Structure 1
Amino acid sequence: MKKERIDLPKVEGHHCFACGTENPKGLNLSFYRSGDAICTDVVLDRHYVGWENMAHGGIISTLFDEVMSWTILYLKRLFFVTRKMEVRYMRPVLIGVPLTVKGTITDDSQSPRIMAKAEMLDKEGRILAK
């Protein structure tokens, strides 16, 4: 059974590289809720290449940081900063293909210190990085 998609309101008028509407060089991400996850769909273009036809690892990290931020901000209504993040790159992330980045909360027992995780999936649902 497919989970219902609930689009989240976009914050207008700021320059955030990841989600800002006023940054012409940014990713201009939009987010939606699917079950207990906050997600964004993205197709990275050649401006975000690292090697050959693969996305730069820093862009993947940016996507993870942003989706986890939106996950905590939206689901817990808390503003915070990232304390620590670890990324495991599992498969090449190719430029020009549809990707879904999904964030979920893994531990909120020590609020306001909250743990989250992110995954990047291709259109077949394979995990490319986490």
Structure 2
Amino acid sequence: MWQGFEGVVHGGIIAGLLDDAMWHALYHEHDLVTMTAQLTVRYRRPVPIDTLLNIYGTVNQFNRRIVHTKAWIESFGETLVTAEGVFMPPKEPPHD
């Protein structure tokens, strides 16, 4: 399990999920490979283990040099965690 405190998902795992949600929203909407430049996470409520979670990511402001995104995690209609991210393309193209 990815548990922090008993019965609660570790905050680092939550941050990673939100980061991925924002990256995927950006990639699928604009077909642009980027890297996280800044990530801010607000933990509103503990995220319980073994419960249904919905994770959302959106692009708020886009240009080819810097992109602002948001993401959040909900469980049964309640927002548990929110995040804002800034993404930038790498200076060199990624290698396959």
Q: Distance in 1 between matches of 2:55 and 2:6?
A: 22
Partner of residue 102, structure 1: 56
The aligned runs of 1:46-125 (5 Å cut-off) are 47-108=1-62, 110-122=63-75, 124-125=76-77
Indicate the SS of the match to 1:58. Answer: helix
Q: Report the number of matched residues.
A: 82
- Percent of aligned positions that are identical: 32
Q: Relative contact order, CA 8 A, sep 6+: which one is greater?
A: 2
- Where in structure 1 are there 5+ consecutive unaligned residues? 1-46
Indicate the SS of the match to 2:36. Answer: coil
1:125 CA drift (Å): 1.2
Question: As a proportion of its length, which structure holds more strand?
Answer: 2
Q: Distance in 1 between matches of 2:29 and 2:6?
A: 37
TM-score, structure 2 normalization: 0.82
TM-score, structure 1 normalization: 0.61
RMSD: 0.8
Q: Distance in 2 between matches of 1:106 and 1:87?
A: 16
